[in-house]
Amino acid sequence: MRLTMIGTGYVGLVSGACFSEFGHHVTCVDINPERIDTLNAGGIPIFEPGLDDLVKRSVSAGRLKFTTDIKEGVDGADAVFIAVGTPSRRGDGHADLSYVYEAARQIASNVTGPCVIVNKSTVPVGTARAVEKIVAEVAPPHQVEIASNPEFLREGSAINDFTHPDRVVVGVNSDFARQTMREVYRPLFLRETPIFFTGWESAELIKYAANSFLAVKIGFINEIADLCEKVGGDVKDVAKGIGMDRRIGDKFLNPGPGYGGSCFPKDTLALLKTAEDYEAPVTIVTATVDANNNRKHAMVDRVVNACGGNVSGKTIGILGLTFKPNTDDMRDSPSLEIIPALQKLGAKIRAYDPEGRHQAEPMLPGVEFADGAYEAVEGAAAVVLITEWNEFRALDLRRIKANLAEPVFVDLRNVYIPSEMRELGFTYSSIGRS
């Protein structure tokens, strides 16, 4: 089949590369000429493990190409996927759909035959209908149907998530769209992946409900972690103990500094806005959003307490800036709240992140960037581990301690074992382990 991907970000580029690996012919379109130049020169504009090899393979097989030209992009396409950003709208928290609507208009104006426009972007209930209306206004001379196909991949494991999903959700309201989407996902169907067809509204809501549910799960374990600290429990044991109940499951029960990233924060907010619009409150998500916002400030207090109540004039070494490991994405990372708050209290920040520096630097003024973990903690009054990159899991702790001015280790991801850290002579603070 001939597929087009509008947007070459974390979702569009991964989806385009994976679809072409399945054997489809894919053209990726982006309005950002630098992105397309980078891709056409053999580079990858984002960090996602395995993506460079995948893209190279499909490009040299002649099944994947990149262009800024929408006309060229949609020429002959059976399905055109919209994978553009839907950030929180400034001021009110609704999803900003302007990029989606613009893409829909451009696609409808350029189609050269019958095709399906597929919303892969995360979009609120009603968007498929709105896109249908845009297409009707443009009135293309060919049959154009709409499908809603939310994406569930995670950054850092995006290729595996895309090629081995738990399910594929497709909202349709025509046989043509259903048949086309069945063909698109045939390679996964052959692997027995459930392809779950629903109506548009359900498909749109499934995406927000899934992300919000996962956010609630993380928010829940974070609060249980706080309770563990008060009562003398160990949150790792509690999470394991509840996770063994298959009704609960053991995934997404790792406590930390609060969830971040390009999806949970904006999608929980957007769900709340939809709930508000339709007067059907989802109060559990409201509570989760509030708890997650407060949590980042609680992390700052934790660092200050570990430093004896004052960080003014002290250097704090930070390990990890991105919202999770194996990505360079800094969107809504907890580090963006924690670091400026520490700076406000007079701390000097020296930070190291394996892949996040190029995005982080303009977002974190006043931060000194180090080239490695040991350099980041040199002469520091404390080290704070914010993101659990693999290279922080087996640090030479004696070397870390020798480099620090004070042996204070604040581990916001529970990477290390409290008893071992104490034996090594650290004043060690972690999450939910008294």
* Minimum distance, C-beta of residue 322 to ligand UDX, in the bound complex (Å): 9
CA distances from 218 to 221, 239, 425 (A): 5, 11, 31
* Residue selected from 19, 81, 323, 369 as contacting ligand UDX according to rule CB under 6 A: 323
Question: Which residues make beta-bridge pairs with 3?
Answer: 26, 79
Torsions phi, psi for 142 (to 5 deg): -135, 165
Residue 404 Cα to chain centre, angstroms: 32
* Minimum distance, C-beta of residue 15 to ligand NAD, in the bound complex (Å): 9
Binding site partner of 85, from ligand NAD, ligand UDX, none, Cβ cut-off 5-8 A by kind: ligand NAD
In the complex, the residues that contact ligand NAD under the rule CB under 6 A are 6-12, 29-32, 35, 83-86, 99, 102-103, 106, 121-122, 151, 153, 155, 262-263
Residue closer to ligand UDX by CB (options 80, 214) is 214
* Minimum distance, C-beta of residue 432 to ligand UDX, in the bound complex (Å): 12
Dihedral sign of CA atoms 127, 129, 132, 134 in order: negative
* Minimum distance, C-beta of residue 123 to ligand NAD, in the bound complex (Å): 7
* Residue selected from 82, 218, 269, 373 as contacting ligand UDX according to rule CB under 6 A: 218
Dihedral sign of CA atoms 240, 242, 244, 246 in order: negative
* Minimum distance, C-beta of residue 84 to ligand NAD, in the bound complex (Å): 4
Residue closer to ligand NAD by CB (options 234, 329) is 329
**How many CB atoms sit inside 10 A of residue 36's CB?**
20
Give CA–CA dist 36/40, Å, rounded: 6
Binding site partner of 99, from ligand UDX, ligand NAD, none, Cβ cut-off 5-8 A by kind: ligand NAD
Contact in structure between 97 and 123 (CB atoms under 8 Å): yes
Give CA–CA dist 210/103, Å, rounded: 25
Binding site partner of 433, from ligand NAD, ligand UDX, none, Cβ cut-off 5-8 A by kind: none
Binding site partner of 86, from ligand UDX, ligand NAD, none, Cβ cut-off 5-8 A by kind: ligand NAD
Q: Cα Rg for the chain, rounded, in angstroms?
A: 23
Q: Tell me: does residue 152 bind ligand UDX (CB under 6 A).
A: yes
Residue nearest to ligand NAD (CB): 9
Instruction: Identify which range of 76-84, 190-198, 246-254, 345-353 contacts ligand UDX by CB under 6 A.
Output: 246-254
Instruction: Please give the full DSSP string across 67-97, using - where no structure is assigned.
Output: ES-HHHHHTT-SEEEE----PBPTTT--B--
**How many CB atoms sit inside 10 A of residue 274's CB?**
18
* Residue selected from 129, 154, 178, 182 as contacting ligand UDX according to rule CB under 6 A: 154
Binding site partner of 409, from ligand NAD, ligand UDX, none, Cβ cut-off 5-8 A by kind: none
* Residue selected from 259, 369, 392, 426 as contacting ligand UDX according to rule CB under 6 A: 259
315-319 and 382-385 strand pairing: parallel
Q: Tell me: does residue 153 bind ligand UDX (CB under 6 A).
A: yes
* Residue selected from 211, 288, 292, 403 as contacting ligand UDX according to rule CB under 6 A: 211
**How many CB atoms sit inside 10 A of residue 251's CB?**
9
Q: Tell me: does residue 260 bind ligand UDX (CB under 6 A).
A: yes
98-110 vs 127-138: helix axis angle to the nearest 10? 40
- Give the catalytic positions in this structure: 263
* Minimum distance, C-beta of residue 38 to ligand UDX, in the bound complex (Å): 22
Give CA–CA dist 223/35, Å, rounded: 41
* Minimum distance, C-beta of residue 121 to ligand NAD, in the bound complex (Å): 3
Binding site partner of 252, from ligand NAD, ligand UDX, none, Cβ cut-off 5-8 A by kind: ligand UDX
Give CA–CA dist 25/200, Å, rounded: 26
Binding site partner of 259, from ligand UDX, ligand NAD, none, Cβ cut-off 5-8 A by kind: ligand UDX
Contact in structure between 4 and 27 (CB atoms under 8 Å): yes
Residue ranges in contact with ligand UDX by CB under 6 A: 151-155, 211, 214, 218, 252-254, 256, 259-261, 263-264, 323-324
